[in-house]
Amino acid sequence: MAKTLDELLKQPSEWMRGSGPVSEIVVSSRIRFARNLDKYPFATRATKATQADVLKVVQDALEHCPTLNDPLFLEMGELDEVDRQFLVERHLVSREHIVRADHKAVAVGRGEVTSIMVNEEDHLRIQVMQSGLNLPDAWSIIDSLDDELSEVVPYAYSTDWGFLTCCPTNTGTGMRASVMAHLPSLVITKQINKVLHTITKLGLTARGLYGEGTEASGNFFQISNQVSLGRSEAELIENIERILKEVIHQEQASRETLMANNRPQLEDRVWRAYGLLKHSKIMSSTEALDLLSAIRLGVDLGLMNGLTRSTVNELFLFSQPAHLQKLEGKPLTAKERDTKRAELIRSRLSMRN
């Protein structure tokens, strides 16, 4: 169990572990609950004193949550900019949570499977992550954790509307179920816009690597339900799983078509990406994500030997700006990060050959 933020560097992040059902396409599954404490003003009306009170109440309540198992508790205001961004890159907090950081915190459970943001848009954002397509297990864990918390901190709840939240789209179950999917073949074959348009019409939404307001870097798409009001948790999970199965089928079919009809071009794309990663002296984060996406596809299709999906996933994570600086032990300029990123990738790839 990590006892300091720096110790998180020594363990694999759950969302990039590279195992679980259909993990060649679905990187991770996440379920998040939005909850607010009864008798306390919501974030839009909360004063700093109120936020401080909520923070203390929640921190005390976490001692009664065996599912978290003695979590690492971090107050955002006590962390520097790099440490906050590091938590974003590991998908433990949102980008919004590191802005105006006073009286905000995150509790990180064992293995980074569970995490709880305190005083984000809502008083609590409870999150459970599982590698691969595994929403049922994520649901089982978060249901237990939610029950444990509700016994010690009563929630704001309406018999007519369900759990009350700052944003109306979260009212009801307060649940957002999402999966992180790697869809390079749909991008290569230019089918991705059609697929994303279809899932939007079916009540889901697609965002980028770090959620709302981000683009789909590295061909990663975060697909989730848009609203939670009027549907049960089971219905929401069933709906996203049903639609995801079709997206997975489309990606698999596209991969098969590329292998059957355009294998030389596909192999060239994969090995060119590998060559650039293996020999470049300067590498931006955007370029690294795109090239790593290509070789991840090559690994998944059996076009490359000596590399594993978990190794590529590790490079995805550790080539991110804050991770590079944590590994280096000091702040780096953008140019220094580009040099260190290339150096890290060259070194890790050389170790695998």
Q: How large is the average pLDDT for residues 248-270?
A: 97
Instruction: Determine the pLDDT at residue 352.
Output: 60
What pLDDT band is residue 210 in, cutting at 50, 70 and 90? low
Tokens of 145: 């954790």
Which distant-in-sequence residues (6+ apart) come within 8 Å of 136 by Cβ?
Answer: 237
Determine the average pLDDT of the residues in 258-276: 97
Residue 353 banded pLDDT, cuts 50, 70, 90: low
Please state, for a pLDDT cut of 90, what percent of the chain lies above it.
Answer: 72
Taking the whole predicted model, whether its pTM rises above 0.85 is answered as yes
- Residue 346, Cα to own-chain centre: how many angstroms? 26
- pLDDT one-digit tens code per residue, 5-22: 999 988 878 877 778 889
Residue type for position 135:
L
Residue 172 confidence (pLDDT) = 85
User: To 5 degrees, how large is the angle CA 45–CA 49–CA 50?
Assistant: 45
Question: Would you say 165 and 122 are in contact if contact means Cβ atoms under 8 Å apart?
Answer: yes
Confidence check: pLDDT of 134 > 70 = yes
Strand 157-158 versus strand 162-163 pairing type: antiparallel
Taking the C-alpha atoms of residue 36 and residue 120, their distance in angstroms, rounded to an integer, is 10
Q: Taking 60 as the threshold, does the pLDDT of residue 213 lie above it? A: no
Instruction: Give the pLDDT score at 36.
Output: 95
Mean pLDDT across the chain, nearest whole number?
91
